[in-house]
Structure 1
Amino acid sequence: MKKLRVFISGQKYFGEQVFSLCQKLDFVEIVGVCAPIDDKYIGKTARKFNIPVVPAGALNADTMPDNVDIGITAHSFDYIGVRTRYKPNIGWIGYHPSLLPRHRGRSSIEWAIKMRDAITGGTVFWLNAGIDRGDIAYQEICFIDPKMYSMDSKKAAKLLWEHELQELGLKLIRQALIDISNGVIIKKPQRKEFSTFEPSTDVKDVFKPDLLMLEQYASGSK
């Protein structure tokens, strides 16, 4: 089993949980994190263990540590630019709470509920230049309780995240790290014909700001 030097870009409770997961794996060394300056979860925990913290928005190939094996996004809204994405020896993985390529975008859980999907799930995938478009590494389903269809979608999404999808993400990331450390790299292209993309439910205009962000950064070199 190979020792993995890991860099985490994340925030809030899930970011801290991924950090704790990595700490528990004896073959993983966390060499740095990227988090908002005021983050009281992963950022605070990293400083407690004297692990370097790159402020959110400042992550690029120059501010990221050298000799990283793999990067992980954990509730991160930082776009990982081209040079940053290719800096780790193996690449970057992220967790998305949907069955990609279904429900790409920031509000994936809400849209699964709004569209009355019977089944959703979580996906660990390899980051590329697109939003939630990289090759799939691991995926697992969970059912949506029909009672959630009549609830406020944000409240229902929060419950589904806290009771199902958060733990599922940690499980899949753990499996990914174990396999990667053993030289097992799984990459399965997403099937474009089944893809959907929905805008953030926090934005009230008719545009898709995530697509605008993609246009702004996809050709960048951060």
Structure 2
Amino acid sequence: MRIVVHGQQAFGRAVLERLLERGENVVAVCCAPTKEGKPEDPLAELAREKGLPLHQPASWKTPEALELMQSFDADVCIMAYVLLFVPEAVRDAPRYGTFQYHPSLLPEHRGPSSINWPIAMGKTRTGLTIFWPDDGLDEGPILLQKTCEIGPDETLGDVYFKKLFPMGVDAMIESLELVKAGVLLKHDQRLEDGSYESWFKKDLARIDWSKPVAEVYNTIRAANPAPGAWTTHGGEEIAFFDSVRQDGDGTAGEVVSVSDDGMLVQGNGGRILVKRVRPKGAGKQPAAEWAAAAGVSAGTALGS
């Protein structure tokens, strides 16, 4: 089977690596253009290393892009983490079309921050979907889905790198086997329903200490490692990362104590032990180290 791999970053590279390990016939690799002054994408690096035809059009909405996909004479296109929009004519150029990976249980959490939002909402379950995309945003018939739990203390990084990333690579290969076997659709459900959430940006990661401590803790987990949940001290931003929720009462937003374990901050209905922080303009560091340098101690009010 002639396969086109279209993707980028570490996930796209991992899918390509797995295909090559299996001896699959990858006839072309497509990747977003390399930006000036930026390192080359890991997928593009691997394609060059293996001597595979690499194509990096700035847009797939042109007649030239359609001709390019048609020239591959492919049986299927595998889209692994693609941010550029690919129109229907290009997706349908391979004999069996194009299937795509999305890290949520579609139709829930359509959109670009589909891992952050379930954590921020306090959900205990998420997963991934392999589907046949149409021109809607994360819409189209489902090929397969896989589920996983979200642990009470797991962060964005935990859920993606330990679960959805490796599960996703396996699911892409399983999907390819389904296509080879002629199982093109699991069911003909369109994915225009469900929920759509936009980017989980910095403004959404600002900590509101008046909210219940569970919501604050979920925000910290959902924003770790990016964009980083943050508050202020003396008018300066400070982002929180590795943290643990604890019991305890007091004034929300006030530092309870600082120790080698971290900085214990009172929330609304509980406390959060912050172990690692990132001051604005600096790197990540132990919370106790930052607190000592910033003059933060028991009784210090954050968020002002």
Calculate the TM-score normalised by the size of structure 1. 0.81
Offset at residue 189 of structure 1 (A): 3.3
Name the CA distance, whole Å, in 1 between partners of 2:93 and 2:201.
32
Match of 2:21 among 20, 24, 28: 24
Of 88-97 and 49-58, deviating more is 49-58
Name the CA distance, whole Å, in 1 between partners of 2:103 and 2:191.
18
Of 112-121 and 195-204, deviating more is 195-204
Q: Report the residue type matching 2:185 in the other structure.
A: I
Offset at residue 183 of structure 1 (A): 2.1
1:44 partnered with 2:45: yes
Q: Quote the residue 1:63 is aligned against.
A: 68
Offset at residue 66 of structure 1 (A): 2.7
Name the CA distance, whole Å, in 2 between partners of 1:54 and 1:69.
18
Aligned-residue CA RMSD in angstroms? 2.0
Of 193-202 and 110-119, deviating more is 193-202
1:9 partnered with 2:6: yes
Offset at residue 144 of structure 1 (A): 0.4
Q: Quote the residue 1:183 is aligned against.
A: 182
Offset at residue 84 of structure 1 (A): 0.7
1:33 partnered with 2:29: yes
- Provide, for residues 14-40 of structure 1, a one-character-per-residue CA deviation record: whole Å limited to 9, x for no partner: 1100101111223x2111111133434
The structure number with the bigger radius of gyration is 2
Q: Judging changes above 3 Å, is the alpha-carbon distance between structure 1 residues 192 and 72 closer, same or farther for their aligned structure 2 residues?
A: closer
Name the CA distance, whole Å, in 2 between partners of 1:157 and 1:56.
31
Q: Quote the residue 2:278 is aligned against.
A: none
Q: Judging changes above 3 Å, is the alpha-carbon distance between structure 1 residues 194 and 62 closer, same or farther for their aligned structure 2 residues?
A: closer
Calculate the TM-score normalised by the size of structure 2. 0.60
Offset at residue 105 of structure 1 (A): 0.5
Q: Does the residue aligned with 1:146 lie in a helix, a strand or coil?
A: coil
| Structure 1 runs not aligned, ≥5 long | 149-155, 206-222
Offset at residue 54 of structure 1 (A): 1.2
**Is the Cα–Cα contact under 8 Å of residues 140 and 191 in structure 2 kept in the other structure?**
no
Q: Report the residue type matching 1:7 in the other structure.
A: V
Offset at residue 56 of structure 1 (A): 4.7
Name the CA distance, whole Å, in 1 between partners of 2:91 and 2:190.
22
Name the CA distance, whole Å, in 2 between partners of 1:62 and 1:204.
42
Q: How many residues align?
A: 194
1:101 partnered with 2:112: no
**Is the Cα–Cα contact under 8 Å of residues 8 and 34 in structure 1 kept in the other structure?**
yes
Name the CA distance, whole Å, in 1 between partners of 2:119 and 2:199.
14
Offset at residue 192 of structure 1 (A): 5.4
Q: Does the residue aligned with 1:129 lie in a helix, a strand or coil?
A: coil
Q: Report the residue type matching 1:5 in the other structure.
A: R
**Is the Cα–Cα contact under 8 Å of residues 126 and 187 in structure 1 kept in the other structure?**
no
Structure with the greater relative contact order (CA < 8 A, sep ≥ 6): 1 or 2? 1
Larger % of helix: which? Answer: 1
Offset at residue 131 of structure 1 (A): 1.2
Runs ≥4 residues deviating over 6 A: none
Offset at residue 182 of structure 1 (A): 2.1
Name the CA distance, whole Å, in 1 between partners of 2:80 and 2:145.
16
